[in-house]
Amino acid sequence: MARIVVIGTPGESGLWVADLDAGTVKPFQAPAGSELESAGKLRAGGASIIKGVDFAVTVKSSDDAFSGHLDG
């Protein structure tokens, strides 16, 4: 099973695609007319879309993450 995640964060209009197996994160533009483009438009209107992910949080830095800190 491929371990690819498309990510968007509040305050940033763009999306990112993370390949967990390759350890890469790259800017992502959803193809025109795709379901991902439709989801991106919903997101732009304030919706949160979560599918196939059971844990996601933001932290201020990777040091915070590795120390176990969870932003509240």
pLDDT in tens, 25-57: 999 999 999 999 999 899 999 999 999 899 888
* Contact of 71 with 57, CB cutoff 8 Å: yes
What's the full length of the chain, in residues?
Answer: 72
* Contact of 49 with 42, CB cutoff 8 Å: yes
**pTM of the model as a whole:** 0.80
Residue ranges of the domains in the chain? 4-66
* Alpha-helix residue ranges (DSSP H) falling in 1-72: 35-44, 62-66
Mean pLDDT of 11-27: 93
DSSP-derived secondary structure letter, 65? H
